[in-house]
Amino acid sequence: MRVARFHAPGDIRLETDPDPVASDDEVVIRVRACSTCGTDVKISRSGHPNMSAPQVMGHEIAGEITQVGARVDGWSVGDRVQVIAAIPDGTCRECRSGFPAVCRNQLSMGYQFAGGFAEHMIVPREVLAVDGLNRIPDTLSFAEASLAEPLACVLNGQQIAGVGDGDTVVVIGAGPIGCLHVRLARARGSERVILIDLNAERLAASAALVQPDLALAAGDGDIVEQVLEATGGDGADVVITAAASGRAQELGLQMLARRGRLSLFGGLPKDAAVIALDANLVHYRELSVLGVNGSSPAHNAEALRLIATGAVPVADLITHRLPLEQVLDAIELVARGEAIKVTIEP
């Protein structure tokens, strides 16, 4: 089978591997769709401290079971499935407390285990042990199902930030994650959603699809003043920074209404991870600054349900579908911001 394997920054190779064979407590899937994301771009450029290289990349995975281990119950050859990316151990303090998204012993597909940029892939016992394999409803395509993983992360973030009925939500960043945030905020009952991006062309393309109540180009004047003006001087109940920008985080704090919540969704580069935070603003307005990291198996299952019911449609966000042989082209499309979601279909 063909795979796309990361060896080092700038060195991703298309290689040929033996077809995998399931052990007694594993299953093998034929990968039908594995979507790309900004993390794939980061890995291709800089690697990742948690990745065991050389490694087959890809973590937004959907496919069809082709082998079932002798000790695996509940699954059959031909079942259509979506696979979690982040794998909690289920036993650490965080997992036992109900917070598996921050499991201290977390493993990941495409990092410690071979990922979905491949024709076939083993679903390891660690995934099955935490109910990390989800059945895809017949109404969904494999490509749509692959977006359950990023939507699961978005769902985790909005649950932590308490996005709900009547909220005014600002989303900074009009990439695929920002688009999912707009749609999920709508599904969770937000009254008004404002989408912001520095790239006016990307903002226009994304806004045409997800239709926020207001789209603001960050380069056009004082963006904080524009948000305050649009909210009658109140500010936003929730600001979500769906961009790897410290400046976006600093400005997001200033956009908040009293008792507002700032969700630091987009991680920052490790050499620029410190921002200026006005502690008095937080203090006197009783603001909350919230972290979010990844998702749990339960988030994945719920995200797949939201897609399947139409609460969060995703098909129109998939702007490019490419074969495995064009995985490097896919990563470059994402890096240049010329696509919303690029799906590899091996």
pLDDT (tens digit, 0 to 9) for every residue of the chain, 346 residues total? 999 999 999 999 999 999 999 999 999 999 999 999 989 999 999 888 888 789 999 999 999 999 999 999 999 999 999 999 999 999 999 999 999 999 999 999 999 999 999 999 999 999 999 999 999 999 999 999 999 999 999 999 999 999 999 999 999 999 999 999 999 999 999 999 999 999 999 999 999 999 999 999 998 889 999 999 999 999 999 999 999 999 999 999 999 999 999 999 999 888 899 999 999 999 999 999 999 989 999 999 999 999 999 999 999 999 999 999 999 999 999 998 888 999 999 9
| Confidence (pLDDT) at 49 | 83
| Confidence (pLDDT) at 271 | 86
| Confidence (pLDDT) at 270 | 83
Non-local CB neighbours of 271 within 8 Å, separated by 6+ positions: none
Alpha-carbon 334 to chain mean position: 14
| Confidence (pLDDT) at 312 | 98
- Amino acid code (one letter) for 7: H
**The token pair that represents 84 in the structure block:** 């979690």
| Confidence (pLDDT) at 221 | 85
**The token pair that represents 284 in the structure block:** 């006197």
| Confidence (pLDDT) at 52 | 79
Query: How far apart (Å, rounded) are the C-alpha atoms in residues 47 and 59?
Result: 15
Query: How far apart (Å, rounded) are the C-alpha atoms in residues 91 and 304?
Result: 25
- Strand pairing class (107-108; 60-68): unpaired
**What b/e sequence results for 330-346 when a residue is b if at least 16 CB atoms lie within 10 Å of its CB, and e otherwise?**
bbebbbeeebbbbbbbb
* SS3 category, 234: coil
Query: How far apart (Å, rounded) are the C-alpha atoms in residues 344 and 346?
Result: 6
| Confidence (pLDDT) at 46 | 86
